[in-house]
Structure 1
Amino acid sequence: MIGRGRLCKTYYGLRLLHFVSSGSLVAWQAEVQVIPVLNMETINTHESTLQLVPSRRNLCHVLQKARERIFTWKVLKILVLGQMLSLFICGTAVTSQYLAEIYKVDTPMLQSFINYCLLFLVYTVWLAFRKGENGLLYIVRNKWWKYILLAIVDVEANYSIVKAYQFTSITSVQLLDCVGIPVLMALSWFILRSRYRLIHYLAVVVCLLGVGTMVGADVLAGREQGKASDMLIGDVLVILGAALYAVSNVCEEYVVKNLTREEFLGMLGLFGTFVSGIQLMIVEYNAIGNIQWDWKVGLLFAAFALCMFSLYSVMPVVIRISSATSVNLGILTADMYSLLFGLFLFGYSFSILYILAFVVIMVGFIMYCSTSTYSAETPAEQPDAHNADGPEKEDEAQEEPAHNLQYIPGEPSAVSAH
């Protein structure tokens, strides 16, 4: 190991003699020639080779650590499941748009009501067969008001986002929907006591840059022109929906990590069916009566319900192994998948910027997932300032002291053992 200083050219020869004294101290005698040396140089006799560029080793070490964090089964699983969620969202968007543009069916509340009914039939009934604290009766008796509030938040979040498309443009929805990410991180900070590292903030910025690239592609393609009569109402609905989604996702993360996934979905199915059913009769009673039912319309409703039910069923799994924030970053690619379907179904124009946006979002998503967040109750582990390789390496270093040969210009040769 070469210490600080500038080494122009080094020639060294060692003539080593040793003897064992009464104190078992090993003495080394060396002849060292250095031409020329501007400062003190240190050669570590434990090293088999002379390392002239230590920064290169540090860079390789950093790259190796990054590779070990990124190329893991956990990150791969989160990545795959996150894109599965994006495809489910894409399915709900495409079927809704097809119903609205081709068959003039605009009933977002009815579509949500069908999803909550499916959650009720599967997960609420599942809870009904359980006993004790995990059973339906116990949960309803002790937590009913909490889940009613959660159901209201979730129902209105879905309705606000879908309704916003009637007033504002796709571009505005894409941009303003990102408001939910910082809101979600803030809620996680205060409610879940999650703590983020610098790489998490950088990852969010990278993902938002990807969204900005996608919006730019929409502007160039002319998709930003909405048929809205009042853009302000639409923008407010998007912000409201994004904030409500953030609240719903934080509650979901708390329940699935501290209680059970079945409890969350079962209670959401029970009270979500009740809340959405009442709102359905108020806001879409006439629209439902005007639907011209045929097998194609029924198939589109079924496809929407299947995608939405799958989204609600899989999302708690992904949140449990990661976090609500990482899930929301991962599903930013849903617009990209919707575009691919739109090329064939709605005549969208393609731009290479969409591919760039997808890549940027995925890079940010992988960056976020590569490093885990930590809780305020358990402080993050800090590597030792003197030995970043951990206590085992430090113990080994203490057991085998390094014998260094130090040469100081203008002074006699000195031999020391540290």
Structure 2
Amino acid sequence: MADTDTVVHQPKGADAASPGNGTGVPTLVASHEANPVLERDAQTRGTWTAYVKTKQFWIAMVLGQTLAICITSTNTLSQLLSNEGTSIPAFQSLFNYVLLNIVYTGYTIYKLGLKGWGKMVLKDGWRFFILAFIDVLGNYFIVLAYRYTTILSAQLINFWAIVVVVLLSFLFLKVRYRWTQIAGIFLCIGGVGVLFGSDHITGFNQYDALDAVKGDLFALLGASLYGVSNTLEEFLVSEQPLYVVIGQLGFWGMFINGTVAGIFDRTSFRGATWNADVGGYLTGYTLILALFYSLAPILFRMTSAAFFNISLLTGNFWGVAIGVKVFHYHIHWMYPIAFVLILVGQIIYFLRQGSLAEQKKPWLGEGQDRGVSGIGTARRRVENPGAVV
């Protein structure tokens, strides 16, 4: 998807796309009182329902659930591939990075020119390489964990990703959490606890672990990498156009993931089943995962890496809902209750926040002038008070 970001590289605190005032200081926003969006945000901070009454809140909620369904769909397709005798966790993700690279790097070169793209890579490529490296390894270790430990153990350890995101955001991005946000996170986790309780009662998702200690360590490592990559991506997409970030993630991820697949998936690849069904599953997996990677940065901009992670907690519910049709699962009566608890936790997370809530990033300045103006950013709304996203 195309992004309307107008700034790619700029000195910190300056906007190359905004008219200057002769002093080198951008005239985007002279003060928050002079801008209706920033003024409303300042006036509504600490009120209970200022943000949950906005269109942005409902868009963020729907987007979060869309991403949860995307992840659940890719997990379902991975299970179908495994049922066919094709288990190539690193290789099957390679096509996603290739597709992202073709679409978004191609668009980046169109916007910047080949020479401009090369300068961008030389200047900032190392940051995107780190993002891609962490992202690829996070995917690999989480998939690897499921080979050795139970689904219950692996998913419980995935909560560590939320802890990592909150700690990193607090320490490095100057994010300060309200008690309502912490309460919302705990209620979401409690909702997932109800899901696990239902699984325990019904015996669903229960099986012996091949090597629980090894699997749990892999899951812990993968969750930690996810937390780091989510936080880093939120930071990068606030300062760079989406097409640059996603394009670079695809570009570097393609090489890194290809290397990982070449090292670890060679034996599995040779023993894999290849037929029309496998081709269809791989195609669906690639398209849905590419959609996920395209939409996630918008949610990072509109909310945060923390909300992104608690949004994905409904994945268990959607997984069973999809499994009713695909794997003939049965939904236990506790599942809808758990789903509602998670959604209520997400609403509580946004209580007592201003009209911009987490869309306004503390590291970008009061007027958000250090950031890019693009889809989902606070700066876009500051410059265009009528903008929804």
Using structure 2 for the length normalisation, give the TM-score. 0.77
User: Percent identity among equivalent residues?
Assistant: 33
Cα distance in 2 between the residues matched to 1:277 and 1:133: 24
Aligned to 1:162: 143
What does the per-residue CA deviation read over 1:241-276, in whole Å, with 9 as the maximum and x for residues that have no partner?
111011111111111111111111111111100011
What does the per-residue CA deviation read over 1:217-241, in whole Å, with 9 as the maximum and x for residues that have no partner?
1111213423431011111111111
Cα distance in 1 between the residues matched to 2:108 and 2:325: 42
Structure showing greater relative contact order (alpha-carbon pairs closer than 8 Å, 6 or more residues apart)? 2
Displacement over 6 Å in runs of 4+: 376-379
Q: Which amino acid in structure 2 is aligned with residue 220 of structure 1?
A: I
Secondary structure of the 2:147 match is coil
Q: Say which of 194, 199, 211 aligns to 1:218.
A: 199
Cα distance in 2 between the residues matched to 1:226 and 1:193: 42
Aligned to 2:273: 292
Q: Say which of 114, 117, 120 aligns to 1:136.
A: 117
Q: Which amino acid in structure 2 is aligned with residue 206 of structure 1?
A: L
Cα distance in 1 between the residues matched to 2:191 and 2:286: 29
Secondary structure of the 1:131 match is helix
Cα distance in 2 between the residues matched to 1:260 and 1:184: 22
Aligned to 1:202: 183
CA contact (8 A) 2:199 2:206 kept: no
Q: CA deviation at 1:348?
A: 2.8
Aligned to 2:376: none
Aligned to 2:323: 342
Cα distance in 1 between the residues matched to 2:176 and 2:239: 18
Q: Say which of 318, 321, 328 aligns to 2:309.
A: 328
Cα distance in 1 between the residues matched to 2:307 and 2:173: 15
Aligned to 2:80: 98
Greater shift after overlay, 119-128 or 357-366?
Answer: 119-128
Greater shift after overlay, 124-133 or 362-371?
Answer: 124-133
After the TM superposition, which residues 188-199 of structure 1 pair with which residues of structure 2 at under 5 Å, given as runs? Answer: 188-199=169-180
CA contact (8 A) 2:145 2:219 kept: yes
Cα distance in 1 between the residues matched to 2:246 and 2:134: 14
Cα distance in 2 between the residues matched to 1:83 and 1:112: 22
Secondary structure of the 2:98 match is helix
After the TM superposition, which residues 260-279 of structure 1 pair with which residues of structure 2 at under 5 Å, given as runs? Answer: 260-279=241-260
Question: In the alignment, is residue 108 of structure 1 matched against residue 89 of structure 2?
Answer: yes
Q: Which amino acid in structure 2 is aligned with residue 92 of structure 1?
A: T
What does the per-residue CA deviation read over 1:9-38, in whole Å, with 9 as the maximum and x for residues that have no partner?
xxxxxxxxxxxxxxxxxxxxxxxxxxxxxx
Cα distance in 1 between the residues matched to 2:289 and 2:340: 26
**Aligned alpha-carbon RMSD (Å):** 2.1
Q: Which amino acid in structure 2 is aligned with residue 77 of structure 1?
A: I
Secondary structure of the 2:111 match is coil
Cα distance in 2 between the residues matched to 1:341 and 1:227: 24
Gaps spanning 5+ residues in structure 1: where? 1-64, 380-418
Aligned to 2:51: 69
Aligned to 1:283: 264
CA contact (8 A) 1:133 1:139 kept: no
Secondary structure of the 1:217 match is helix
Cα distance in 2 between the residues matched to 1:202 and 1:162: 30
Q: Which amino acid in structure 2 is aligned with residue 118 of structure 1?
A: L
Q: Say which of 221, 236, 243 aligns to 1:240.
A: 221
Question: In the alignment, is residue 375 of structure 1 matched against residue 362 of structure 2?
Answer: yes
Q: Which amino acid in structure 2 is aligned with residue 329 of structure 1?
A: I
Q: Which amino acid in structure 1 is aligned with residue 117 of structure 2?
A: L
Q: CA deviation at 1:167?
A: 0.8
CA contact (8 A) 1:127 1:262 kept: yes
Name the CA shift for 1:194/1:289 in 2 (closer, same or farther; >3 Å): same
CA contact (8 A) 1:127 1:266 kept: yes
Aligned to 1:6: none
CA contact (8 A) 1:203 1:364 kept: yes
Q: CA deviation at 1:67?
A: 4.7
Greater shift after overlay, 343-352 or 180-189?
Answer: 343-352
CA contact (8 A) 1:184 1:247 kept: yes
Cα distance in 1 between the residues matched to 2:287 and 2:94: 13
Q: CA deviation at 1:378?
A: 6.9
Q: CA deviation at 1:377?
A: 8.5
Q: Select the structure that is richer in strand.
A: 1
Cα distance in 1 between the residues matched to 2:65 and 2:113: 37
Q: Say which of 168, 180, 192 aligns to 2:161.
A: 180
Secondary structure of the 1:212 match is helix
Cα distance in 2 between the residues matched to 1:117 and 1:68: 42
Aligned to 1:303: 284
Aligned to 2:294: 313
Q: CA deviation at 1:292?
A: 2.5
Rg larger for: 1
Q: Which amino acid in structure 1 is aligned with residue 168 of structure 2?
A: L
Aligned to 2:38: none
Cα distance in 2 between the residues matched to 1:70 and 1:151: 34
What does the per-residue CA deviation read over 1:365-398, in whole Å, with 9 as the maximum and x for residues that have no partner?
122234225738979xxxxxxxxxxxxxxxxxxx
CA contact (8 A) 2:72 2:315 kept: yes
